[in-house]
Amino acid sequence: MNPIELTTTQMANAIASGALDPVSAVEAAFERIDARESQVHAWAHLDRDNALAEAKAMAAERKAGNLRGPLHGVPVGIKDVFHARDMPTLANSRTMDGSLRYPDSGVAAALRKAGAIILGKCTTVEFAGMGVPPASTNPWNSAHTGGGSSSGSGVAVGARMIPVAIGTQTGGSNIRPAAYNGVAGLKPSYGALSRKGMLPVAWSLDHPGLIARAAEDLELVFTALAKIRPAPVTPPGTWRIGVLRGFFSEKSSPDMAASFEAALGKLSASGMDVVEVPLPALFAAHRSIHHLIMSTEMAVYHAPRIAEHRDTMTERHRLMAEAFALVPAGYYLQALRAKRLLQQAMAALFADVHVLAMPTTPDTAPLGLETTGDASFQVAWSLTGFPTTTIASGLASNGLPVGLQFAGAPGTDLLVIKAAMAAEAVLGRLTLPD
């Protein structure tokens, strides 16, 4: 059994049964990191000594018949905007003090309570969207981006370094890198996972999220980390999938459109009921609404940083913060009102379907590292706070992964995950070639 080939669920079960011990799991993860990190650049910080010490302690606990939680001994990574004890929080910014240490963030504490072993911090775009991207590359083709701003989280899972990682999404920063790297992702309902100890981008839009090998992993990890443990969900006898076209069809590349239609065809042939659902008129304004809210809140958070660290900030970070500070307060307030109206209009789309389906991204991961890709297919769900998942639905003609995205009504996180699991059972998972 090679631990790097296991999903989170498989690894957790193997450790619980005694077929795999936590030390072997952590050592295999570090061996894989050592073999691939120089090509993909997924990590901002590794905490080798503490991770191995924790693994040894958990191995002894397992032998004594004790498990800390459902993720006992599973190695994980967290995006470098979450605080974690004994580790720096740098957020890919020269303005952060690497000598400082902080108590565990809410997500880090929840991971430890569930038994996970945090190997380190995964790379991020500067302040999760306020500046320069990291050097992280796509494990399917290193000439292409691994996405962002949860760059390292997506790349580390996609490169089989770890089976699951924590990312964040304010625009499209969690679901997009999951899709680009050919794995599964969850952006939960707004507020479902703790934001305590997480550096904010925009308080009313920030979502901690999950990136994992398989859709079933999302259920395991989300249930373990959710602030309020969700009640189990029984899948419907027949899935009713609402298809969103319009905006999503117009922006999709020919490759992405063909892949999406092929995936829908397979789901329909498997017995799922696939129907088209029209977008509400207000959807046309969703990107403007999102931009006004996000930019205003970003500017407020970073104003003190400009005053204190102006000379050490990257120019891109400073210019963005200064420009966003010019948004009139009245525009921000109107955007908040429009957001509530859009939430109501979008919630009505689920009256006759279980979930909505669309491509995860307009195209595959772009060439080069200057951009982390197009977030436009995730923005509506970050704005409304509705839960979304992505699974790999195949490979494009350029050999890069494409994704299928599901969205659900507020609070239906487990139902959306179940839909992803059902679709993944039909479409299969991708195997990264070495």
Catalytic residue among 105, 136, 149, 151: 149
Residues forming a β-bridge with 167: 209
Q: Are 277 and 244 in contact (CB under 8 A)?
A: yes
Burial 235-273 (b: 16+ CB within 10 A, else e): eeeebebbbbbebbeebbeebbbebbeebbebbeeeebe
Calculate the alpha carbon distances from 395 to 175, 270, 344, 373, 422 in Å: 17, 20, 35, 17, 19
Q: Which one is catalytic: 79, 121, 187, 418?
A: 79
Question: What backbone phi and psi angles, to 5 degrees, belong to 331?
Answer: -65, -40
For 226-285, where are the alpha helices, taking DSSP H only?
Answer: 247-251, 254-269
Distance separating alpha carbons of residues 114 and 186, to the nearest angstrom = 18
H or E segment and range at residue 127: none
CATH class of 1-434: alpha beta
pTM of the predicted protein model: 0.97
Domain ranges of the chain: 1-434
For 280, the token pair is: 């509400």
Contact 402, 255 (CB under 8 A): yes
Q: What is the per-residue pLDDT for 249? A: 96
Cβ atoms of 349 and 394 within 8 Å: the answer is no
* CA dist., res. 373 & res. 301, Å (int): 24
Whether 196 is catalytic is no
For residue 38, count other CB atoms closer than 10 A to its CB: 8
For 41, left (φ over 0), alpha (ψ -120 to 50), or beta? left
pLDDT at 314: 83
Structure tokens given for 276: 């088209």
pLDDT of residue 253: 97
Task: Write out the DSSP string of 25-79.
Answer: HHHHHHHHHHHHHHHH--EEEE-HHHHHHHHHHHHHHHHTT--SSTTTT-EEEEE
Q: Which of 136, 173, 252, 259 is catalytic?
A: 173
pLDDT at 178: 98
Kindly state the greatest CA–CA separation across the chain. Answer: 61
Is residue 149 part of the annotated active site? The answer reads: yes
Q: How far apart are CA 63 and CA 236, in angstroms?
A: 40
Q: So what's the pLDDT on residue 305?
A: 85
Q: Is 17 a catalytic residue?
A: no
- With tokens 């959710």, the residue in question is 226
Q: Would you say 8 and 163 are in contact if contact means Cβ atoms under 8 Å apart?
A: yes
**Tens-of-pLDDT digits for all 434 residues of the chain?**
799 999 999 999 999 999 999 999 999 999 999 999 999 999 999 999 999 999 999 999 999 999 999 999 999 999 999 999 999 999 999 999 999 999 999 999 999 999 999 999 999 999 998 778 999 999 999 999 999 999 999 999 999 999 999 999 999 999 999 999 999 999 999 999 999 999 999 999 999 999 999 999 999 999 999 999 998 999 999 999 999 999 999 999 999 999 999 999 999 999 999 999 999 999 999 999 999 999 999 999 888 888 888 888 888 778 877 888 888 889 999 999 999 999 999 999 999 999 999 999 999 999 999 999 999 999 999 999 999 999 999 999 999 999 999 999 999 999 999 999 999 999 999 999 87
